[in-house]
A = this chain, B = another copy of it.
């Protein structure tokens, strides 16, 4: 299996696969006579794991840790739970931040009286002189 096949099979770009190899997330595969990378099933499985983890928003460092834990079936599951729970907490913070941000923006959009910048409540709210309107 060549790098393009692996990319199609996992939904990962060729460049990203090479990047993961440089980052030591994915072991360097064998090369054929043309110096092309030749991947085995194990690579496909490992890259799938990485892809799923990334799709779930884990950072590469978290993925590294998850891979390390997953590599030994005798490890305690607690480490995985901690990483996941922390990640959920981080997502909760982001959700709260974004929701606050959104309501602020919508409030400004709704109050915009236009038609020109001179009357625009959004610009007014962003400008220091528009403090009272913010």
Q: Is A84 an interface residue (CB 8 A)?
A: yes
> In the complex this chain forms, how many copies of it are found?
2
**How many chain-A residues does the 8 Å CB contact rule pick out?**
53
**Is the CB–CB distance between A81 and B112 below 8 Å?**
yes
Interchain CA distance A126-B126 in the complex, whole Å: 44
Q: Which residue of B66, B81, B108 is within 8 Å of A109 (Cβ)?
A: B81
Q: Per-residue CB proximity of A63-99 to B under 8 Å, as 1/0?
A: 0001001101111111011001101100110110011
Majority secondary structure, A binding face: helix
* One of A11-19, A22-30, A32-40, A46-54 contacting the partner: A46-54
Flag if B44 contacts A115 (CB, 8 Å): no
Residues of A at the B interface (CB closer than 8 Å) are: 44-45, 48-49, 52-53, 56-57, 66, 69-70, 72-78, 80-81, 84-85, 87-88, 91-92, 94-95, 98-99, 101-102, 104-106, 108-109, 112, 114-120, 122-123, 125-129, 134
